């Protein structure tokens, strides 16, 4: 395999020495970039873009041409697994993802097929291998999946939800059904992510986008336990290098103590968590990633620079010199001026020299 020219992202996740703070952005390939919108129009629609190997590779590389990012992330969607399980994913303009079928009964769960990711999601694996080759070792490639809890909410609700009515009804009324679904999804995610690793992914992030909607005990029982199962089932080394695993629970900063036991290498933080306190709490036992409010990028050059410096001051206040990756606290939004992320990226690299130089 091509030698990796910039591995500071992987090194930071493994708490190894780094020369400057690595940075990437969740949803860094997306609608805020005019070149992305042009490529999506060429594909016809979002799902067609995901399934077109060359175009998925193109949009993955687009942000790296604009910004000095330290990692690429596979362009795909967290709902590829439910789609491959036969639920019929489609997108309504202005309404987001929806499914033709929902999962609400014991029979619905029993009818779900066993996923064979290399066969059923071959277009994802083709994209991973194509992107990895196109990167030519410049930066590592991140693969990803949604968490079982997050995937289950979409499958039960039939799309996005604000109150998770049907999912939480299943959780409290028939928890054994929800556990059966989550267990099936955990096995599917393990197969899916291991296939991505085989295809060339060099780090993995599990997006627990809706974990923060759960109560404390329920978060552990219905989300974290299944992510822990996934971590234990993943391949952790390829081509002589460790494959770092990042868990990101939006709204999950209060659960750092139990997330430490997941076996992951790093935890992602949203913008509601105080970074210096989080660093003190984990005490060098695990790396952290995040946590700039994505809305910060609506601001001026000066306000963005000020916010980024404050975040880095928090990250390194305790004297640590590694174990931190700069990122947003959630995905970059479509309304961001594409000139503004450069200020974020460049400030991270330049200002962190104060701590790491």
The annotation places the binding site for substrate at 27-31, 77, 154, 209, 330
237-238 and 241-242 beta bridge pairing: antiparallel
- Are 356 and 319 in contact by the 8 Å Cβ rule? The answer is no
Q: How many CB atoms lie within 10 A of CB 116?
A: 14
27 is catalytic: yes
| Catalytic residue selected from 8, 11, 15, 27 | 27
| Catalytic residue selected from 32, 36, 67, 154 | 154
Output the known binding site.
27-31, 77, 154, 209, 330
Q: How far apart are CA 144 and CA 76, in angstroms?
A: 9
Q: Where are the alpha helices (DSSP H) in the chain?
A: 8-13, 34-43, 46-51, 53-66, 80-82, 106-110, 117-120, 122-135, 148-157, 165-173, 175-199, 216-219, 225-233, 256-259, 275-282, 301-316, 340-351, 353-356
Q: How far apart are CA 43 and CA 59, in angstroms?
A: 11
241 is catalytic: no
77 is catalytic: yes
Q: How far apart are CA 191 and CA 206, in angstroms?
A: 13
- Are 251 and 213 in contact by the 8 Å Cβ rule? The answer is yes
15 is catalytic: no
96-99 and 141-146 beta bridge pairing: unpaired
CB half-sphere exposure, 56, CA atoms < 13 A: 23
Interacting residues of 77 by C-beta distance below 8 A, sequence separation 6+:
46, 47, 50, 97
Burial 150-165 (b: 16+ CB within 10 A, else e): bbbbbbbbbbebeebe
Q: How far apart are CA 185 and CA 9, in angstroms?
A: 29
List C-alpha distances in Å: 299 to 114, 296, 340. 47, 6, 8
| Catalytic residue selected from 66, 77, 276, 346 | 77
The DSSP call for residue 331 is P
- Are 180 and 241 in contact by the 8 Å Cβ rule? The answer is no
Interacting residues of 135 by C-beta distance below 8 A, sequence separation 6+:
61, 72, 141
Residues with a known catalytic role = 27, 31, 40, 77, 154
């Amino acid at each position: 395999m091509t030698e990796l020219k910039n591995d500071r992202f992987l090194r930071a996740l493994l708490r190894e020495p780094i020369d400057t703070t690595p940075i990437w952005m969740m949803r860094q390939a997306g609608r805020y970039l005019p070149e992305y919108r042009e490529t999506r129009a060429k594909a016809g629609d979002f799902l067609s873009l995901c399934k077109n190997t060359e175009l998925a590779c193109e949009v993955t590389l687009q942000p790296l041409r604009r910004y000095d990012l330290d990692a690429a992330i596979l362009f795909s969607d967290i709902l590829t697994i439910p789609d491959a399980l036969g639920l019929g994913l489609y997108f309504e303009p202005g309404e987001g993802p929806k499914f033709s079928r929902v999962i609400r009964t014991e029979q619905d769960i029993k009818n779900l097929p066993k996923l064979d990711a290399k066969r059923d999601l071959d277009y994802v694996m083709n994209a991973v291998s194509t992107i990895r080759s196109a990167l030519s070792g410049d930066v590592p490639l991140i693969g990803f999946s949604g968490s079982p809890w997050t995937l289950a909410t979409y499958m039960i609700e039939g799309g996005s939800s604000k109150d998770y009515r049907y999912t939480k009804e299943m959780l409290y009324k028939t928890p054994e059904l929800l556990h059966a679904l989550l267990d099936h999804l955990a096995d599917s995610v393990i197969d899916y992510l291991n296939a991505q690793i085989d295809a060339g992914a060099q780090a993995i992030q599990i997006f627990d986008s809706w974990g923060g909607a759960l109560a404390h005990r329920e978060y552990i029982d219905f989300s974290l336990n299944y992510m822990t199962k996934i971590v234990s089932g993943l391949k952790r080394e390829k081509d002589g290098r460790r494959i770092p695993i990042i868990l990101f629970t939006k709204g999950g900063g209060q659960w750092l103590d139990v997330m430490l036991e997941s076996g992951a290498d790093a935890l992602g933080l949203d913008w509601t968590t105080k970074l210096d306190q989080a660093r003190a709490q984990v005490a060098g036992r695990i790396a952290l990633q995040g946590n700039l409010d994505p809305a910060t990028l609506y601001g001026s050059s000066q306000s963005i620079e000020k916010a980024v410096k404050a975040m880095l001051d928090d990250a390194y206040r305790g004297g640590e010199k590694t174990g931190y990756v700069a990122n947003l606290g959630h995905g970059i939004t479509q309304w961001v001026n594409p000139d503004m992320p450069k200020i974020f990226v460049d400030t991270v690299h330049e200002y962190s020299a104060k701590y790491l130089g």
